[in-house]
Structure 1
Amino acid sequence: MTTTTRISTAERLGRPFGRGWRAYARGERRASNWLVSKGMPATGAIALVWAVKLTVLGMLLYATFWLALLLVLFLVAGTLASNNLEWDEPETEWRTGPAGFGLYRGDIRVDVGDPYEDD
């Protein structure tokens, strides 16, 4: 029995996510410190960073809304188109028609027969 522990899939996927999050937070902190070094009050820098975050979030939600609406419209149009493309074929039946007695679908004789034979 080995005593080595293995990394779970969740941990394997979480590590790059955590590194990315730390990099983002570090960049945000650098931007905030840069604004403070240029003379902006610390609360103003934090408020500006939050305003940018909320603006980006709003734009993402706006784009997602329109993409979802477009997807719904395509699904509705596809459903309507598939319902309209289905037509009912006339039933085939044995009867006497314009080409004599035979198997007809609508007004067209579909069985093999001689249209000039006398009954």
Structure 2
Amino acid sequence: MKTNTRTSFAERFGSRLGRGWRSYARREGRVGGWLMARGVPAALAKALVWAFRLAVLAMVLYSGFWVATVCLGVVGAAWAARNLDLEEPETEWRMGHSGYGLYRGETRIDIGDSFEED
């Protein structure tokens, strides 16, 4: 059995998140109390705190949407670049639409004869 007392990264990360959340909750309570001390009705103070929460959530979701959109664009561009066929067809001498000559795909690339024999 291990007697290792080291805390893992997950434990430290969770602990920090918990401390951060508790700190935020305390400050949120202080803001509500401060608003009520200034004469704002309790219901309105609570509504303002919730409005701030919703505004922060909206900003996080908006930012997350754009981060996801950029990531999808990068993945899409990488996928398109991977599937892009940059190899040109090999040139070959053959009989094609413009007569016998050097063709790349369906296009004749040599100069060819500029006159026709009758």
TM range (shorter): 0.5 to 0.7
Measured in 1, the distance between the counterparts of 2:4 and 2:75 equals 48
* Counterpart residue type for residue 17 of structure 1: L
Comparing 38-47 and 11-20, the one that deviates more: 11-20
Q: Secondary structure at the match of 1:39?
A: coil
**CA drift at 1:16:** 2.5
Residue type of the alignment partner of 1:36: M
Residue 41 of structure 1 deviates from its aligned partner by: 0.7
Summarize the Cα distance change of 1:8–1:81 in structure 2 as closer, same or farther, 3 Å threshold.
Answer: closer
Q: Which amino acid aligns with 1:62?
A: Y
Question: Which residue does the alignment assign to 2:23?
Answer: 23
1:32-88 deviation per Cα after TM superposition (whole angstroms, max 9, x unaligned) = 111101110111111110111111101110111112112112211222122224426
CA distance in 2, matches of 1:32, 1:42: 8
Aligned-pair RMSD on alpha carbons?
2.9
Question: Unaligned 5+ residue runs, structure 1?
Answer: 92-105, 107-119
Residues in 2 aligned to 1:46 and 1:77: alpha-carbon distance in whole angstroms: 46
Runs of 4+ residues deviating >6 angstroms = none
Query: TM-score of the superposition, structure 1-length normalised?
Result: 0.61
How far apart, in 2, do the equivalents of 1:81 and 1:6 lie?
Answer: 49
Amino acid at match of 1:56: V
* 2:70 aligned counterpart, secondary structure: helix
Instruction: Name the CA distance, whole Å, in 2 between partners of 1:21 and 1:84.
Output: 48
Distance 1:78-1:52 versus aligned 2 partners, 3 A rule: same
Match of 1:65 in 2: 65
- Secondary structure of the 1:87 match is coil
- Aligned equivalent of 1:87: 87
Structure 2 unaligned residues grouped into runs of 5+:
92-103, 105-118
Aligned length: 93
